[in-house]
């Protein structure tokens, strides 16, 4: 039986470390603020935003929520982003995606000040990740790295396979593994012999969006298996890209869904916001 990686416990520890640092900053009169902008009434987005507000409360950040109606125009949203860019109380800005169809994610993100872009989606931050000179790491891939670290696994020299090449998970994930000297293969929907490629991996990260696609024959005995996927199974139950029941005997370490990568994403958002706040206040 594999060791189950407890994302809730790891994320709680990350948040506790942040909380303590925030307390010390407050004693020096420094407060950290995160602005979260949500447009429309997508139910999943509402839940994510609520969880982000809750996390802010846990670590001691000020959170500023801007809930805008679905028919908000690009001009109106950009005006809000501009206001938040200039607001000294706001250290981090997060625009919850996806935006309603008439709004272009790219235009909005490109207008967030890079040093307040705590999601690390702005092209400047994406470029910095590429060259390994960054302040912010994209939250989900950074959370995955923390989970790998929690297993005591040294990434250096390991065969790492990432399934998925999206801009928010797969590609940055591969870069972070590479920065830690993994030998990295990125796979996608056109990859041939996916099963065989995955079965080479000492560290396998699945970010596909296909319920329980990764079966035991995709994994190497003893591998670290990290499941980013968030899907619904045939009964409407939340599940990952990895068939947990099928893989749990063969993997060395495995993340559950829920309770694996999910909680880490928000914890890493808090970490980025703290980094931004410290930079803005000139604290190391």
Establish if 231 lies at the interface with ligand NDP (CB under 6 A). Answer: yes
3-state DSSP helix/strand/coil % of the chain, to nearest 5: 45, 15, 40
Nearest to 242 by CA among 264, 268, 215: 215
The verdict on 259 binding ligand NDP (CB under 6 A) reads: no
Per CB under 6 A, 164 contacts ligand NDP: yes
Residue 198 sits in the site that holds ligand NDP (CB under 6 A): no
Q: How many residues does the chain have?
A: 284
Of 249, 252, 232, whose CA–CA distance to 241 is shortest?
232
If binding is defined by CB under 6 A, does position 269 make contact with ligand NDP? Answer: no
Residue 189 binding ligand NDP, by CB under 6 A: yes
Residue of this chain nearest to ligand NDP (CB atom): 166
Distance CA 65, CA 69 (A): 13
Bridge pairing between strands 238-239 and 253-254:
unpaired
Residue 49 within binding range of ligand NDP, rule CB under 6 A: no
Q: Binding segment for ligand NDP among 38-46, 68-76, 167-175, 268-276 (CB under 6 A)? A: 167-175
Beta carbon nearer to ligand NDP, 24 or 189? 189
* Residue 206 near residue 214, CB atoms below 8 Å: yes
Could you tell me the end-to-end alpha-carbon distance of the chain, in angstroms, rounded to an integer? 43
Q: Which residues are catalytic?
A: 52, 96, 119
Interacting residues with ligand NDP (CB under 6 A): 140, 163-166, 168-170, 187-191, 194, 207-210, 228-231, 261-262, 265
């Amino acid at each position: 039986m594999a060791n189950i990686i407890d994302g809730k416990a790891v994320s709680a520890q990350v948040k506790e470390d942040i909380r303590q640092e925030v307390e010390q900053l407050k004693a020096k009169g420094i407060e950290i603020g995160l602005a979260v902008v949500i447009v429309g009434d997508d139910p999943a987005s509402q839940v994510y935003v609520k969880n982000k507000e809750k996390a802010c409360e846990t670590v001691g950040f000020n959170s500023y929520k801007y809930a805008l109606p679905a028919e908000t125009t690009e001009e109106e949203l950009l005006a809000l982003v501009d206001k938040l860019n200039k607001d000294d109380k706001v250290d981090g800005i997060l625009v919850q995606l996806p935006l309603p169809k008439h709004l272009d994610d790219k235009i909005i993100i490109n207008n967030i000040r890079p040093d307040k872009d705590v999601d690390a989606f702005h092209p400047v931050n994406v470029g910095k990740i590429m060259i390994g000179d960054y302040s912010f790491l994209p939250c989900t891939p950074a959370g995955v790295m923390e989970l790998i670290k929690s297993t005591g696994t040294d990434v250096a020299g390991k065969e790492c396979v990432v399934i998925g090449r999206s801009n928010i998970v797969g590609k940055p994930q591969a870069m972070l593994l590479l920065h830690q000297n993994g030998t990295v293969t990125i796979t996608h929907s056109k990859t041939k012999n996916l099963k065989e490629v995955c079965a080479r991996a000492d560290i396998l990260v699945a970010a596909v969006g296909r319920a329980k696609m990764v079966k035991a024959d995709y994994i190497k005995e003893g591998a670290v298996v990290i499941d980013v996927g968030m899907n619904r199974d045939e009964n409407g139950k939340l599940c990952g890209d990895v068939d947990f029941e099928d893989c749990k005997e063969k993997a060395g370490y495995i993340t559950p869904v829920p309770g694996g990568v999910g909680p880490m994403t928000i914890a890493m958002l808090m970490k980025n916001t703290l980094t931004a706040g410290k930079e803005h206040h000139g604290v190391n």
